[in-house]
Amino acid sequence: AQTVTQSQPEMSVQEAETVTLSCTYDTSENNYYLFWYKQPPSRQMILVIRQEAYKQQNATENRFSVNFQKAAKSFSLKISDSQLGDTAMYFCAFLQGGSEKLVFGKGTKLTVNP
Question: Residue 33 CB, nearest distance to another protein (Å)?
Answer: 5
Residue 7 binds another protein, judged by CB under 8 A: no
- Report how far apart, in Å, the C-alpha atoms of 53 and of each of 13, 37, 96, 113 are: 29, 17, 10, 34
Residue 75 binds another protein, judged by CB under 8 A: no
DSSP 20: E
Residue 95 binds another protein, judged by CB under 8 A: yes
Candidates 2, 11, 13, 33: give the one binding another protein (CB under 8 A): 33
Candidates 25, 35, 75, 94: give the one binding another protein (CB under 8 A): 35
28 contacts: CB under 8 Å, gap ≥ 6 = none
